[in-house]
Structure 1
Amino acid sequence: MEAAVVRGPPLINVAAVCGSLRKGSYNRGLLRAAMEISKESVKGLNIEYVDISPLPFLNTDLEVDGTYPAEVEAFREKIQQADCYLFASPEYNYSVTGPLKNAVDWASRPPNVWADKAAAIVSAGGSFGGGRSQYHLRQSGVYLDLHFINKPEFFLNAFEKPAKFDSEGNLLDAAAKERLKEVLLSLQRFALRLRGESE
Protein backbone atom coordinates (compact mmCIF):
# COMPACT_ATOMS: atom_id res chain seq x y z
CA MET A 1 0.00 0.00 0.00
CA GLU A 2 1.45 3.35 -1.06
CA ALA A 3 1.95 6.02 1.58
CA ALA A 4 -0.20 9.10 1.21
CA VAL A 5 1.62 12.09 -0.26
CA VAL A 6 1.41 15.10 2.00
CA ARG A 7 1.43 18.30 -0.02
CA GLY A 8 1.97 21.78 1.28
CA PRO A 9 -0.19 24.75 0.33
CA PRO A 10 -0.07 25.94 -3.30
CA LEU A 11 2.80 28.33 -3.94
CA ILE A 12 1.92 32.00 -4.27
CA ASN A 13 4.60 34.29 -5.72
CA VAL A 14 4.42 37.88 -4.49
CA ALA A 15 6.08 40.86 -6.17
CA ALA A 16 6.98 43.39 -3.47
CA VAL A 17 7.20 47.01 -4.62
CA CYS A 18 8.38 49.92 -2.48
CA GLY A 19 7.49 53.53 -3.24
CA SER A 20 10.63 54.85 -1.56
CA LEU A 21 14.02 54.55 -3.26
CA ARG A 22 15.98 55.16 -0.05
CA LYS A 23 17.84 52.08 1.23
CA GLY A 24 17.10 52.91 4.86
CA SER A 25 13.43 53.58 4.14
CA TYR A 26 11.00 52.39 6.81
CA ASN A 27 8.65 51.24 4.07
CA ARG A 28 11.41 49.15 2.52
CA GLY A 29 11.98 47.82 6.03
CA LEU A 30 8.37 46.65 6.09
CA LEU A 31 9.01 44.62 2.93
CA ARG A 32 12.17 43.08 4.41
CA ALA A 33 10.19 42.11 7.49
CA ALA A 34 7.43 40.64 5.32
CA MET A 35 10.00 38.53 3.48
CA GLU A 36 11.40 37.22 6.76
CA ILE A 37 7.93 36.48 8.14
CA SER A 38 6.92 34.63 4.98
CA LYS A 39 9.99 32.38 5.22
CA GLU A 40 9.49 31.70 8.92
CA SER A 41 5.75 31.32 9.37
CA VAL A 42 3.66 31.65 6.20
CA LYS A 43 3.99 28.45 4.19
CA GLY A 44 3.46 28.67 0.46
CA LEU A 45 4.22 32.39 0.15
CA ASN A 46 7.34 33.50 -1.75
CA ILE A 47 8.04 37.25 -1.74
CA GLU A 48 10.48 38.83 -4.20
CA TYR A 49 11.52 42.46 -3.91
CA VAL A 50 11.20 44.25 -7.26
CA ASP A 51 13.39 47.33 -7.56
CA ILE A 52 11.72 50.27 -9.32
CA SER A 53 14.72 52.63 -9.18
CA PRO A 54 16.01 51.78 -12.72
CA LEU A 55 12.73 52.78 -14.38
CA PRO A 56 12.86 55.92 -16.54
CA PHE A 57 10.10 58.50 -16.27
CA LEU A 58 7.12 57.33 -18.26
CA ASN A 59 7.30 58.74 -21.75
CA THR A 60 5.42 57.11 -24.60
CA ASP A 61 8.15 58.29 -26.98
CA LEU A 62 10.20 55.47 -25.43
CA GLU A 63 7.72 52.90 -26.74
CA VAL A 64 8.87 51.59 -30.10
CA ASP A 65 6.76 49.16 -32.14
CA GLY A 66 5.02 47.85 -29.04
CA THR A 67 8.24 47.38 -27.07
CA TYR A 68 9.59 49.22 -24.04
CA PRO A 69 13.05 50.14 -22.74
CA ALA A 70 14.94 47.13 -21.34
CA GLU A 71 14.48 48.22 -17.71
CA VAL A 72 10.75 48.59 -18.25
CA GLU A 73 10.44 45.24 -20.02
CA ALA A 74 12.26 43.51 -17.13
CA PHE A 75 9.99 45.20 -14.58
CA ARG A 76 6.82 44.36 -16.49
CA GLU A 77 7.89 40.72 -16.76
CA LYS A 78 8.38 40.47 -12.98
CA ILE A 79 4.93 41.98 -12.44
CA GLN A 80 3.30 39.70 -14.98
CA GLN A 81 4.88 36.55 -13.53
CA ALA A 82 3.76 37.28 -9.96
CA ASP A 83 0.52 35.89 -8.55
CA CYS A 84 -0.10 38.98 -6.42
CA TYR A 85 1.50 42.16 -5.13
CA LEU A 86 2.61 43.73 -1.87
CA PHE A 87 3.02 47.50 -2.04
CA ALA A 88 4.89 49.48 0.62
CA SER A 89 3.56 52.97 0.03
CA PRO A 90 5.04 55.99 1.81
CA GLU A 91 3.01 59.18 1.82
CA TYR A 92 4.29 62.28 0.06
CA ASN A 93 2.01 65.32 0.20
CA TYR A 94 -1.06 63.23 1.05
CA SER A 95 -0.51 60.87 -1.89
CA VAL A 96 1.68 58.14 -3.38
CA THR A 97 5.29 58.86 -4.28
CA GLY A 98 6.39 59.81 -7.78
CA PRO A 99 8.50 56.66 -8.25
CA LEU A 100 5.62 54.38 -7.25
CA LYS A 101 3.11 56.11 -9.53
CA ASN A 102 5.65 55.91 -12.34
CA ALA A 103 6.05 52.14 -11.79
CA VAL A 104 2.30 51.61 -11.64
CA ASP A 105 1.85 53.52 -14.89
CA TRP A 106 4.61 51.67 -16.76
CA ALA A 107 3.11 48.29 -15.87
CA SER A 108 -0.32 49.52 -16.93
CA ARG A 109 0.77 50.25 -20.50
CA PRO A 110 -0.72 47.80 -23.05
CA PRO A 111 -1.10 45.08 -22.15
CA ASN A 112 -1.86 45.98 -18.51
CA VAL A 113 0.10 43.40 -16.51
CA TRP A 114 -1.49 44.27 -13.15
CA ALA A 115 -4.95 43.04 -14.11
CA ASP A 116 -6.94 40.45 -12.18
CA LYS A 117 -4.37 39.95 -9.42
CA ALA A 118 -4.66 40.34 -5.65
CA ALA A 119 -2.74 43.07 -3.84
CA ALA A 120 -2.12 44.46 -0.36
CA ILE A 121 -0.66 47.74 0.86
CA VAL A 122 1.42 48.50 3.94
CA SER A 123 2.72 51.92 4.98
CA ALA A 124 4.94 53.50 7.60
CA GLY A 125 5.09 57.23 8.13
CA GLY A 126 3.99 60.08 10.36
CA SER A 127 0.78 60.53 12.33
CA PHE A 128 -1.55 58.56 10.04
CA GLY A 129 1.20 56.10 9.15
CA GLY A 130 1.04 56.75 5.42
CA GLY A 131 -2.65 55.92 5.20
CA ARG A 132 -3.67 58.66 2.77
CA SER A 133 -1.30 57.29 0.13
CA GLN A 134 -3.04 53.94 0.36
CA TYR A 135 -6.41 55.39 -0.59
CA HIS A 136 -4.96 57.03 -3.69
CA LEU A 137 -3.25 53.77 -4.67
CA ARG A 138 -6.55 51.94 -4.22
CA GLN A 139 -8.22 54.44 -6.56
CA SER A 140 -5.66 53.70 -9.26
CA GLY A 141 -6.21 50.00 -8.64
CA VAL A 142 -9.87 50.28 -9.60
CA TYR A 143 -8.99 51.28 -13.17
CA LEU A 144 -6.16 48.72 -13.32
CA ASP A 145 -8.41 45.81 -12.24
CA LEU A 146 -6.19 45.24 -9.21
CA HIS A 147 -8.05 43.55 -6.36
CA PHE A 148 -6.85 44.92 -3.04
CA ILE A 149 -7.59 43.09 0.19
CA ASN A 150 -9.86 45.20 2.38
CA LYS A 151 -8.72 43.94 5.75
CA PRO A 152 -6.55 44.09 7.69
CA GLU A 153 -5.29 47.57 6.87
CA PHE A 154 -1.71 48.31 7.91
CA PHE A 155 -0.59 51.83 8.82
CA LEU A 156 2.37 52.28 11.17
CA ASN A 157 3.40 55.50 12.89
CA ALA A 158 7.15 55.09 12.53
CA PHE A 159 7.99 57.86 14.99
CA GLU A 160 6.11 56.73 18.09
CA LYS A 161 8.08 55.51 21.09
CA PRO A 162 9.40 52.93 21.66
CA ALA A 163 11.30 52.85 18.36
CA LYS A 164 9.61 50.84 15.63
CA PHE A 165 12.72 50.59 13.42
CA ASP A 166 16.47 50.46 13.97
CA SER A 167 18.92 52.92 12.40
CA GLU A 168 19.04 50.90 9.15
CA GLY A 169 15.27 50.82 8.73
CA ASN A 170 14.70 47.27 9.97
CA LEU A 171 11.39 46.65 11.73
CA LEU A 172 11.78 45.98 15.47
CA ASP A 173 8.22 46.16 16.76
CA ALA A 174 6.81 42.70 17.58
CA ALA A 175 3.16 43.82 17.45
CA ALA A 176 3.70 45.37 14.01
CA LYS A 177 5.30 42.13 12.81
CA GLU A 178 2.24 40.21 13.95
CA ARG A 179 -0.06 42.63 12.12
CA LEU A 180 2.13 42.31 9.04
CA LYS A 181 1.77 38.53 9.20
CA GLU A 182 -2.02 38.90 9.21
CA VAL A 183 -1.80 41.05 6.06
CA LEU A 184 0.28 38.35 4.35
CA LEU A 185 -2.14 35.60 5.33
CA SER A 186 -5.08 37.63 4.01
CA LEU A 187 -3.23 38.34 0.75
CA GLN A 188 -2.39 34.66 0.37
CA ARG A 189 -6.01 33.59 0.90
CA PHE A 190 -7.32 36.16 -1.58
CA ALA A 191 -4.72 35.28 -4.22
CA LEU A 192 -5.63 31.60 -3.95
CA ARG A 193 -9.31 32.46 -4.20
CA LEU A 194 -8.76 34.47 -7.38
CA ARG A 195 -6.86 31.51 -8.81
CA GLY A 196 -9.77 29.22 -7.92
CA GLU A 197 -7.72 27.28 -5.38
CA SER A 198 -7.96 26.62 -1.65
CA GLU A 199 -5.28 26.59 1.03
Structure 2
Amino acid sequence: MEAVTAIKPLIRVAALSGSLRKTSFHTGLLRAAIDLTKESVPGLQIEYIDISPLPLINTDLEVNGTYPPVVEAFRQKILEADSILFASPEYNFSVSAPLKNALDWASRPPNVWADKPAAIISTGGGFGGGRSQYHLRQIGVFLDLHFINKPEFTLNAFQPPQKFDAEGNLVDEVTKERLKQVLLSLQAFTLRLQGK
Protein backbone atom coordinates (compact mmCIF):
# COMPACT_ATOMS: atom_id res chain seq x y z
CA MET A 1 0.00 0.00 0.00
CA GLU A 2 1.37 3.41 -0.97
CA ALA A 3 1.76 6.09 1.66
CA VAL A 4 -0.52 9.06 1.25
CA THR A 5 1.29 12.38 1.42
CA ALA A 6 -0.55 15.57 2.15
CA ILE A 7 -0.25 18.15 -0.58
CA LYS A 8 0.30 21.62 0.80
CA PRO A 9 -1.64 24.49 -0.73
CA LEU A 10 0.34 26.68 -3.11
CA ILE A 11 1.76 29.77 -1.43
CA ARG A 12 2.68 32.63 -3.73
CA VAL A 13 5.67 34.61 -2.49
CA ALA A 14 6.65 38.04 -3.82
CA ALA A 15 10.44 38.41 -3.56
CA LEU A 16 12.04 41.85 -3.49
CA SER A 17 15.72 42.72 -3.57
CA GLY A 18 16.74 46.04 -2.08
CA SER A 19 19.86 46.06 -4.26
CA LEU A 20 19.69 47.14 -7.89
CA ARG A 21 23.26 46.08 -8.76
CA LYS A 22 23.48 43.59 -11.67
CA THR A 23 25.60 41.11 -9.71
CA SER A 24 23.87 41.77 -6.40
CA PHE A 25 24.37 39.10 -3.76
CA HIS A 26 20.87 39.89 -2.48
CA THR A 27 19.29 39.20 -5.84
CA GLY A 28 21.49 36.10 -5.97
CA LEU A 29 19.95 34.94 -2.70
CA LEU A 30 16.51 35.33 -4.26
CA ARG A 31 17.54 33.35 -7.35
CA ALA A 32 18.78 30.60 -5.04
CA ALA A 33 15.49 30.71 -3.12
CA ILE A 34 13.55 30.30 -6.37
CA ASP A 35 15.72 27.32 -7.32
CA LEU A 36 15.30 25.77 -3.87
CA THR A 37 11.52 25.95 -4.07
CA LYS A 38 11.61 24.11 -7.39
CA GLU A 39 13.97 21.45 -6.01
CA SER A 40 12.96 20.85 -2.43
CA VAL A 41 10.19 23.10 -1.08
CA PRO A 42 6.95 21.97 -2.72
CA GLY A 43 3.97 24.25 -2.32
CA LEU A 44 5.99 27.47 -2.40
CA GLN A 45 6.18 29.55 -5.58
CA ILE A 46 8.47 32.59 -5.54
CA GLU A 47 8.20 35.41 -8.05
CA TYR A 48 10.98 37.98 -8.21
CA ILE A 49 9.50 41.48 -8.35
CA ASP A 50 11.85 44.06 -9.89
CA ILE A 51 11.57 47.35 -7.99
CA SER A 52 14.01 49.29 -10.19
CA PRO A 53 11.29 50.78 -12.49
CA LEU A 54 9.44 52.42 -9.58
CA PRO A 55 9.68 56.22 -9.60
CA LEU A 56 10.72 57.96 -6.41
CA ILE A 57 7.65 58.28 -4.25
CA ASN A 58 5.86 61.53 -4.93
CA THR A 59 2.23 62.01 -4.03
CA ASP A 60 1.92 64.48 -6.93
CA LEU A 61 1.95 61.34 -9.11
CA GLU A 62 -1.27 60.15 -7.48
CA VAL A 63 -4.26 61.26 -9.52
CA ASN A 64 -7.83 60.67 -8.33
CA GLY A 65 -6.76 57.76 -6.14
CA THR A 66 -4.70 56.06 -8.84
CA TYR A 67 -0.98 55.66 -9.24
CA PRO A 68 1.37 55.57 -12.24
CA PRO A 69 0.92 52.29 -14.21
CA VAL A 70 4.26 50.84 -13.06
CA VAL A 71 3.30 51.51 -9.44
CA GLU A 72 -0.19 50.04 -9.92
CA ALA A 73 1.35 46.88 -11.42
CA PHE A 74 3.79 46.60 -8.51
CA ARG A 75 1.05 47.10 -5.93
CA GLN A 76 -1.07 44.44 -7.63
CA LYS A 77 1.79 41.91 -7.43
CA ILE A 78 2.12 42.55 -3.70
CA LEU A 79 -1.64 42.35 -3.19
CA GLU A 80 -1.83 38.99 -4.99
CA ALA A 81 1.05 37.47 -3.01
CA ASP A 82 0.38 35.30 0.04
CA SER A 83 3.68 36.29 1.63
CA ILE A 84 6.79 38.39 1.05
CA LEU A 85 10.50 37.56 0.95
CA PHE A 86 12.75 40.59 1.38
CA ALA A 87 16.45 40.49 0.48
CA SER A 88 17.52 43.57 2.39
CA PRO A 89 21.01 45.01 2.05
CA GLU A 90 22.35 47.26 4.76
CA TYR A 91 23.11 50.82 3.69
CA ASN A 92 24.35 53.10 6.47
CA PHE A 93 22.91 50.83 9.19
CA SER A 94 19.45 50.80 7.57
CA VAL A 95 17.42 49.61 4.58
CA SER A 96 18.38 50.70 1.08
CA ALA A 97 16.66 53.64 -0.61
CA PRO A 98 15.17 51.47 -3.41
CA LEU A 99 13.61 49.11 -0.88
CA LYS A 100 12.26 51.96 1.24
CA ASN A 101 10.79 53.50 -1.90
CA ALA A 102 9.00 50.23 -2.74
CA LEU A 103 7.74 49.92 0.83
CA ASP A 104 6.37 53.45 0.68
CA TRP A 105 4.60 53.04 -2.66
CA ALA A 106 2.84 49.86 -1.57
CA SER A 107 1.83 51.43 1.74
CA ARG A 108 -0.16 54.21 0.08
CA PRO A 109 -3.92 53.75 0.58
CA PRO A 110 -4.93 51.04 0.60
CA ASN A 111 -1.85 49.50 2.22
CA VAL A 112 -1.23 46.29 0.24
CA TRP A 113 1.37 45.01 2.74
CA ALA A 114 -1.24 44.60 5.48
CA ASP A 115 -1.46 41.18 7.14
CA LYS A 116 1.17 39.59 4.90
CA PRO A 117 3.59 37.08 6.43
CA ALA A 118 7.18 37.93 5.55
CA ALA A 119 10.80 36.88 5.92
CA ILE A 120 14.05 38.81 5.60
CA ILE A 121 17.39 37.59 4.28
CA SER A 122 20.53 39.72 4.22
CA THR A 123 24.17 39.47 3.30
CA GLY A 124 27.17 41.76 3.33
CA GLY A 125 30.24 42.34 5.46
CA GLY A 126 30.53 42.34 9.23
CA PHE A 127 27.07 41.77 10.67
CA GLY A 128 25.81 40.49 7.30
CA GLY A 129 23.07 43.07 6.89
CA GLY A 130 21.51 42.49 10.29
CA ARG A 131 20.95 46.14 11.13
CA SER A 132 18.85 46.60 7.98
CA GLN A 133 16.67 43.76 9.20
CA TYR A 134 16.02 45.54 12.49
CA HIS A 135 14.91 48.67 10.66
CA LEU A 136 12.79 46.70 8.23
CA ARG A 137 11.07 44.99 11.15
CA GLN A 138 10.33 48.41 12.68
CA ILE A 139 8.88 49.64 9.39
CA GLY A 140 6.88 46.42 9.15
CA VAL A 141 5.10 47.17 12.42
CA PHE A 142 3.45 50.21 10.86
CA LEU A 143 2.74 48.34 7.62
CA ASP A 144 1.11 45.40 9.46
CA LEU A 145 3.65 42.94 8.07
CA HIS A 146 4.15 39.79 10.15
CA PHE A 147 7.77 38.61 10.06
CA ILE A 148 8.96 35.14 10.95
CA ASN A 149 11.22 35.26 13.99
CA LYS A 150 13.37 32.23 13.29
CA PRO A 151 15.56 31.26 11.70
CA GLU A 152 17.31 34.57 11.25
CA PHE A 153 19.35 34.82 8.07
CA THR A 154 22.34 37.13 7.97
CA LEU A 155 25.42 36.18 6.01
CA ASN A 156 28.93 37.58 5.93
CA ALA A 157 29.54 37.22 2.21
CA PHE A 158 33.26 37.82 2.45
CA GLN A 159 34.30 35.14 4.96
CA PRO A 160 35.58 31.84 3.57
CA PRO A 161 34.36 29.63 2.10
CA GLN A 162 33.28 31.51 -1.02
CA LYS A 163 29.54 32.20 -0.89
CA PHE A 164 28.88 33.76 -4.32
CA ASP A 165 30.37 33.50 -7.80
CA ALA A 166 31.32 36.47 -10.00
CA GLU A 167 27.73 36.80 -11.26
CA GLY A 168 26.30 37.01 -7.74
CA ASN A 169 24.94 33.45 -7.68
CA LEU A 170 24.91 31.63 -4.35
CA VAL A 171 27.32 28.68 -4.56
CA ASP A 172 27.78 27.67 -0.91
CA GLU A 173 25.77 24.54 -0.06
CA VAL A 174 25.66 25.22 3.69
CA THR A 175 24.18 28.65 3.02
CA LYS A 176 21.65 27.13 0.63
CA GLU A 177 20.51 24.83 3.42
CA ARG A 178 20.15 27.79 5.79
CA LEU A 179 18.11 29.59 3.13
CA LYS A 180 15.92 26.53 2.69
CA GLN A 181 15.13 26.58 6.42
CA VAL A 182 13.96 30.21 6.11
CA LEU A 183 11.68 29.22 3.23
CA LEU A 184 10.22 26.31 5.17
CA SER A 185 9.59 28.58 8.14
CA LEU A 186 7.91 31.20 5.94
CA GLN A 187 5.76 28.49 4.38
CA ALA A 188 4.66 27.09 7.76
CA PHE A 189 4.01 30.58 9.17
CA THR A 190 1.97 31.59 6.12
CA LEU A 191 -0.17 28.45 6.37
CA ARG A 192 -0.68 29.08 10.08
CA LEU A 193 -1.80 32.66 9.51
CA GLN A 194 -4.12 31.49 6.74
CA GLY A 195 -5.62 28.93 9.12
CA LYS A 196 -4.59 25.97 6.94
TM-score range, shorter chain: over 0.9
Give unmatched runs, 5+ long, in structure 1.
none
Q: Which SS does the other structure have where 2:72 is aligned? A: helix
Query: What is residue 60 of structure 1 aligned with on the other side?
Result: 59
Q: Which SS does the other structure have where 1:178 is aligned? A: helix
Query: What is residue 99 of structure 1 aligned with on the other side?
Result: 98
CA shift, 1:160, in A, is 0.7
> Mapping of 1:78-157 within 5 angstroms?
78-157=77-156
The CA distance in 2 between the partners of 1:179 and 1:7, in whole Å, is 24
CA shift, 1:7, in A, is 5.4
- AA matched with 2:7: G
- AA matched with 2:115: D
Query: What is residue 162 of structure 2 aligned with on the other side?
Result: 163
Query: What is residue 49 of structure 1 aligned with on the other side?
Result: 48
CA shift, 1:8, in A, is 1.5
Q: Which SS does the other structure have where 2:188 is aligned? A: helix
Query: What is residue 36 of structure 1 aligned with on the other side?
Result: 35
- Count of residues in correspondence between the two structures: 194
CA shift, 1:46, in A, is 0.1
- AA matched with 1:89: S
The TM-score normalised by the length of structure 2 is 0.97
The CA distance in 2 between the partners of 1:26 and 1:6, in whole Å, is 36
What CA deviation, in whole Å up to 9, does each residue of 1:74-104 have, x standing for no partner?
0000000000000000000000000000000
CA shift, 1:23, in A, is 1.7
Which contiguous aligned blocks of 4+ residues in structure 1 show a shift greater than 3 angstroms? none
CA shift, 1:162, in A, is 1.9
Q: Which SS does the other structure have where 1:65 is aligned? A: coil
What CA deviation, in whole Å up to 9, does each residue of 1:33-63 have, x standing for no partner?
0000011000100000000000000000000
What CA deviation, in whole Å up to 9, does each residue of 1:6-41 have, x standing for no partner?
652110000000000112000110000000001100
Q: Percent identity?
A: 73
Q: Which SS does the other structure have where 1:57 is aligned? A: coil
Query: What is residue 11 of structure 1 aligned with on the other side?
Result: 10
Q: Which SS does the other structure have where 2:47 is aligned? A: strand
Distance verdict in 2 for CA 1:132–1:83, change over 3 Å: same
The TM-score normalised by the length of structure 1 is 0.95
**Aligned-residue CA RMSD in angstroms?**
1.2
Give unmatched runs, 5+ long, in structure 2.
none
